[in-house]
């Protein structure tokens, strides 16, 4: 609980100060980001302990980057549903380096349908984005119970590999020059 409280306090301070909205001087905003980062790391540690394993969180998934998955060819992905109701037919994306041979095995040990998609070049060129992920493995989660989770194993085994996206069509716009 002490570890969780670090994030709780940081969020309370930031809500009180109307933080992360551009209405503060840059050095103050930098301090908000620092407090938030410390709180998130602390909370991640608590969640990792709760799950009883060597768990890692990736905070750059919003720019399709994750140093953990980019450096492995066999790993587990835990998908947790924070809603109190069941969700069905939702999709998960994980950035990876190579596009070949990715297989996704679901919680019941059965290979699930997956697809490897290309990350747009413009995303890979975002200033400050680290890592070399050029693809994402996408798969469908049929069902997650309320406050429940499912663990998926991703491996670049080559057997039962998922599908790769096919370039169907391309074209320059009229303004191409």
Here the tokens at position 148 are 């429940």
Nearest to 137 by CA among 41, 59, 34, 66: 66
- Binding of other proteins at residue 161 (CB under 8 A)? no
- Binding of other proteins at residue 15 (CB under 8 A)? no
* 120-149 binders of other proteins (CB under 8 A): 120, 122-123, 126-128, 138-141, 144
- Binding of other proteins at residue 155 (CB under 8 A)? yes
- Binding of other proteins at residue 32 (CB under 8 A)? no
Listed in sequence order, the residues at least 6 apart from 169 whose beta carbon sits closer than 8 Å to its beta carbon are none
* 84-123 binders of other proteins (CB under 8 A): 85, 87, 89-92, 94, 107, 109, 113-115, 117-118, 120, 122-123
Among 72, 97, 98, 99, binds other proteins (CB under 8 A): 72
- Binding of other proteins at residue 36 (CB under 8 A)? no
User: CA triplet 165, 170, 175: central angle to 5 degrees?
Assistant: 145
Measured on CA atoms in the order 93, 97, 100, 104, is the torsion positive or negative?
Answer: negative
Residue 10 half-sphere exposure toward CB, CA atoms < 13 A: 21
- Binding of other proteins at residue 16 (CB under 8 A)? no
- Binding of other proteins at residue 42 (CB under 8 A)? no
């Amino acid at each position: 609980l002490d570890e969780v409280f670090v994030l709780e306090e940081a969020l309370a301070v930031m809500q009180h100060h109307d933080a992360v909205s551009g209405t503060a001087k840059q050095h103050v905003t930098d301090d908000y980001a620092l407090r938030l980062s410390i709180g998130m790391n602390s909370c991640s540690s608590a969640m990792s302990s709760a799950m009883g394993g060597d768990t890692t969180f990736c905070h750059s998934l919003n720019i399709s980057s994750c140093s953990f998955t980019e450096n492995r060819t066999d790993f587990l992905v835990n998908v947790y549903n924070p809603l109190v109701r069941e969700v069905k037919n939702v999709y998960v994306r994980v950035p990876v380096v190579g596009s070949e041979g990715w297989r996704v095995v679901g919680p019941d040990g059965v290979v699930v349908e997956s697809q490897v998609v290309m990350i747009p070049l413009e995303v890979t060129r975002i200033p400050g984005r680290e890592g070399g992920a050029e693809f994402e493995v996408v798969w469908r989660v049929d069902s997650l119970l309320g406050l429940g989770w499912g663990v998926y194993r991703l491996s670049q085994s080559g057997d039962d590999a998922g599908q790769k996206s096919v370039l169907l069509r391309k074209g320059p716009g009229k303004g191409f020059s």
